Structure 1
């Protein structure tokens, strides 16, 4: 599908935000959030719809993959800034992945401790969990991507 873009410098082949989101397995809201955070840029198509060129789609694939392994947006932004310095970019990515791994290992330890405390059939709910209540629909707030 070729789209006619408003931006005269935009590539001829742009993928609409909805199509890009479906292909990446995320929501259009997530793609807008990534753009708002400075991770990616888009072009404007007819009807003022955001469109992504193939280079942006490749970058989005990397962003989605890094988010899937637990890298925060700030770390991804710091890595993307170094795109013209491949050695520094590799070091930054290695460091960010190591930090994400440490955080996930700590989360696993917390989960294991909680599960161990709940191992017996007569175990009571931990106090922090026992006090939880389901939020009312009016008080529910959407989470960030």
Structure 2
């Protein structure tokens, strides 16, 4: 079982990556972690989720957005967190269920896709992809954050 807090640094733990440090096209190192039935149950309790909403062909699946809590940890492996970031938006694409009754070994990877300035804010955009250890694609996320001057 890998809790997000075990793989995600907190703001201030490491020297922060500044806007000037971000390089479009930069790849994020892979992050391996395991989603277990305990994590699925904890996530359901935190989001007040109803497990009956997550059945696939009669089998209990995890809420697919359980991966959202690991998204920034993938990016932080290359660019440690800067205080004051504002999450602007995320677009999720889900491809395969995470089964709630078994451990799922996941590998996250990604890349910086864009950075730009607009109305006094600096924006970064990145993509994170999650696969099972066997290569089965689980989810992809396109993310945008902004940082004040």
Q: Specify if TM > 0.5.
A: no
Q: Greater CA radius of gyration, 1 or 2?
A: 1
More strand by share: 2
What TM-score, normalized to structure 1?
0.23
What TM-score, normalized to structure 2?
0.23
Tell which has more relative contact order, 1 or 2 (C-alpha 8 A, sep 6+). Answer: 2
